[in-house]
Structure 1
Amino acid sequence: MSEQSIKNQLQEAVKDAMRAKDKDKLSVMRMILAEFKQVEVDKRIELDKTQELAILDRMEKQRKEAQEQFIQANRTDLAEKEAYEIQVIQAFKPVALSAKEVEAEIQQAIFETGASEAKDMGKVMAILKPKLQGRADIAQVSSHVKMLLAKE
């Protein structure tokens, strides 16, 4: 991924989708941009890359939960729509890290902070979150850090 913000990439992709007359993709990308804009207006800030990735993570998680509910309700048409939206959202996220790479980042952060017990978890997560946002499930990383610090 280039240094260009996700928002800028989305705006370019929207233009491409308009030229290609891809209404479904256009709809999803406009929904993402609207979510970005909503947060910027509500918080009176300009989003940085970490915040953009956090929004994409949240949107992806919401769609996965909805997809599961639609599958349970035997609504495959709606489940497929959610799957498509997930696919479009993921296209704007960086490549996910492998479990080994995440583990290495966690160990490095624990080493850098000198964390040795559960109360040091905040320091470790403060380093990890910006590095791993959008590239790993932060909730899983958090529980893994908690488990590691509980052992030490």
Structure 2
Amino acid sequence: MKSLKEQLVEDMKKAMKEKDKMKLSVIRMARAAIKNVEINKRKDLSDDEVVEVLAKEVKQRRESIEEYKKAGKENVVKDLDKEIEILSKYLPEQLTKEEIEKIVDEVISEVNAESMKDMGKVMQIIMPRIRGRADGKVVNNIVRKKLS
């Protein structure tokens, strides 16, 4: 099975041949982000670490969309949506709210969490389990609701 980085290179070549400028630019940006992390960590990234980088890129775009919507820049919002769509193909399937709630319930009972004081313990165990498959803000909100 190909690594995620190899898949990105392959898809980049395909986008070049198809003259798909948007896809090409997004994949190049993703590869640059991965390369920057590799340089900073001074090691090659595993597929899990690549997923983290790509999830971070998607998260940045989602946050930017909110700002551009407020500014009324619909054309930029459309471009960011396309970028998110392209990047999402490389991420694991996202968990539904119900699936996240189930994982949160399991972890809360595992660590016997009873109040907001235990939020750190709960989040520390949940995040590695769902890495790249759910937005941390969503998980955080669900944990807050369950513990309060």
- TM-score, length-scaled by structure 2: 0.83
Distance (Å, rounded) in 1 between the aligned partners of 2:144 and 2:75: 39
Residue aligned with 2:133, SS: coil
2:25 aligned residue: 27
**Larger deviation, residues 41-50 vs 92-101:** 41-50
**Larger deviation, residues 43-52 vs 100-109:** 43-52
Equivalent of 2:134 in 133, 136, 149: 136
**Percent identity over paired residues:** 38
Residues 3-152 of structure 1: matches in 2 within 5 Å?
4-150=2-148
- TM-score, length-scaled by structure 1: 0.81
- Does the CA contact (< 8 Å) of 1:109 and 1:127 recur in 2? yes
Unaligned 5+ segments in structure 2 are none
* Residues 77-101 of structure 1: per-residue CA shift (max 9 Å, x gap): 3222212111111111111111111
Distance (Å, rounded) in 2 between the aligned partners of 1:115 and 1:123: 8
* Residues 109-142 of structure 1: per-residue CA shift (max 9 Å, x gap): 2222233333333332222112212221212212
Unaligned 5+ segments in structure 1 are none
Distance (Å, rounded) in 2 between the aligned partners of 1:68 and 1:114: 37
Equivalent position amino acid for 1:28 in 2: V
Residue aligned with 2:92, SS: coil
- Does the CA contact (< 8 Å) of 1:50 and 1:130 recur in 2? no
How has the CA–CA distance of structure 1 residues 87 and 114 changed in structure 2, closer, same or farther, with 3 Å as cutoff?
same
How has the CA–CA distance of structure 1 residues 141 and 10 changed in structure 2, closer, same or farther, with 3 Å as cutoff?
same
Distance (Å, rounded) in 2 between the aligned partners of 1:122 and 1:112: 14
Cα displacement (A) at 1:4: 4.6
How has the CA–CA distance of structure 1 residues 104 and 85 changed in structure 2, closer, same or farther, with 3 Å as cutoff?
same
